Chains A and B, each alone.
Chain A
Amino acid sequence: SQTIHQWPATLVQPVGSPLSLECTVEGTSNPNLYWYRQAAGRGLQLLFYSVGIGQISSEVPQNLSASRPQDRQFILSSKKLLLSDSGFYLCAWSAGPGTYEQYFGPGTRLTVT
C-alpha cells in the first residue's frame, strides 16, 4: 500500500532563517506531488505541484520554492522565512492524470517567530 511521509511534524523558526520541508511517498511510482499551505482558520492553498522529476509548477508567487530531486521526493524550501509563512504545510500525491483522489500527508506545522 502507498504511504506518504512528511517531516518534521512541527517546526519553530526565526524570521530570516532558511526552511527545508521534506515529503516522500512509498508504494507508487511517478506520482503527481503537491505542496499546500493552510493558514490558521483558513482553507488550503496550493503552492506547488510536480508531474515528474525536476518539473515544478508554482501556483502562487512568493519566497518559497520546491524541488523534486527524486521520483518520490518533494522538498519545500525558503532562503529567508517571513512571519506570513507560518502555517500548516501539507504534501499530497495522486496517481497521475485521469485520477481524482489526492492523498495527504500528516503535515508540518511551521511557526515563524
Chain B
Amino acid sequence: DAKTTQPTSMDCAEGRAANLPCNHSTISGNEYVYWYRQIHSQGPQYIIHGLKNNETNEMASLIITEDRKSSTLILPHATLRDTAVYYCIVRVGGNAGNMLTFGGGTRLMVKP
C-alpha cells in the first residue's frame, strides 16, 4: 500500500472550513483514498473515500488532485465535535479482508 503523509496537528475556528491535506505520491492506479476519524476514547469512524473523482457526502468533501498524488478532506463548517484525529489511508479495494493500516493521522483541534 502507498505511504501517506499528513501534518501532525491543525487548528480550525468553529464554523469555518477545515481543510486537511494528505500526500500519497506513490499511490498506484487501483488504490483508493479513505478518510477516517477517531474522537478521543472512541473507535474510528469512516468518513469518505474516493478513487480519482471528487466526492461529497453528508460529513465531508474529498478533493483528489488530478495526478492523485495528494488529497484534501474538507469539513465545510467545523464544530467542536469535529475535534478528532483524522486518518488518511490509501488502500486497494476489493481484496479479501480489506485491511486498513492507520498511521499517525492529523490531530484537528476545533476552537471556539
State the CA gap A98–B94 with chains docked (Å): 3
Q: Are A104 and B43 in contact (CB under 8 A)?
A: yes
Q: Does B100 contact A (CB under 8 A)?
A: yes
Candidates A43, A45, A57; contact of B97 at CB < 8 Å: A57
A101-B46, A102-B46 as given contacts; A59 in contact with B87, CB under 8 Å: no
The size of the chain B interface, using a CB distance under 8 A, is 24
Chain A interface residue number, banded: 20 to 34
Interface of B is mostly: loop
- B93-A49 in contact (CB<8A): no
Instruction: Write out the residue numbers on chain A whose beta carbons fall within 8 Å of the beta carbon of B87.
Output: 43
Within 8 A of A (CB), among B60-112: 87, 91, 93-105
Q: Which 7 A-B pairs have the closest CB atoms?
A: A104-B43, A44-B102, A101-B46, A43-B102, A98-B94, A49-B97, A100-B49
Residues of chain B having any CB pair with chain A under 8 Å: 32, 34, 41-46, 49, 87, 91, 93-105
